[in-house]
Amino acid sequence: MISIEREDGFTLAEIIVAFAILSLALLAIFQSYGLVARSTVGNERERAALAVAQSLLATTGLVETVMLGKEEGLTSDGVAWSRTVTPYGQSPASATTRAYLVIIELKSRTPARHGDLIRLSTIKLLSEQ
């Protein structure tokens, strides 16, 4: 009887299965990397838009005279903003300060993950001029 010696090593089928498993693992790793990168960019856009909104809210009545009504603008980053100022409540006629409701809204041209609208509002006491 003729005996055939078997050589040590992997068969072609085993190598193909190993490459398939490796490629699926690498695909999962690269997809998660891409997801993290997109999430980071979205967070940076949200953070920048929030900084603009906070700045507009903080400077209302400090840098310029308060103008009642709605004012709109566009930042250099393409973020559209609006500031709405309305009187808030009743102030006595002799009061030197008055309460104003200030609403800041920002809408980005490139939507962030959780929507593309940021809205901040506060009540400010500002002196009559």
Segment 25-66, tens digit of pLDDT: 999 999 998 888 877 877 787 788 888 888 888 888 887 777
Which residue segment(s) compose the domain that 43 sits in? 12-127
Instruction: Confirm whether 7 is domain-assigned.
Output: no
Instruction: Confirm whether 121 is domain-assigned.
Output: yes
Instruction: Confirm whether 2 is domain-assigned.
Output: no
Spatial separation of the C-alpha atoms in residues 36 and 43, rounded to whole Å: 10
Instruction: Confirm whether 112 is domain-assigned.
Output: yes
Structural domain count, the chain: 1
Spatial separation of the C-alpha atoms in residues 63 and 57, rounded to whole Å: 11
Instruction: Confirm whether 54 is domain-assigned.
Output: yes
Instruction: Confirm whether 80 is domain-assigned.
Output: yes
Instruction: Confirm whether 4 is domain-assigned.
Output: no
Confidence band, pLDDT 50/70/90 cuts, at residue 113: very low
Does 110 have pLDDT greater than 60? no
Predicted TM-score of the model (pTM): 0.59
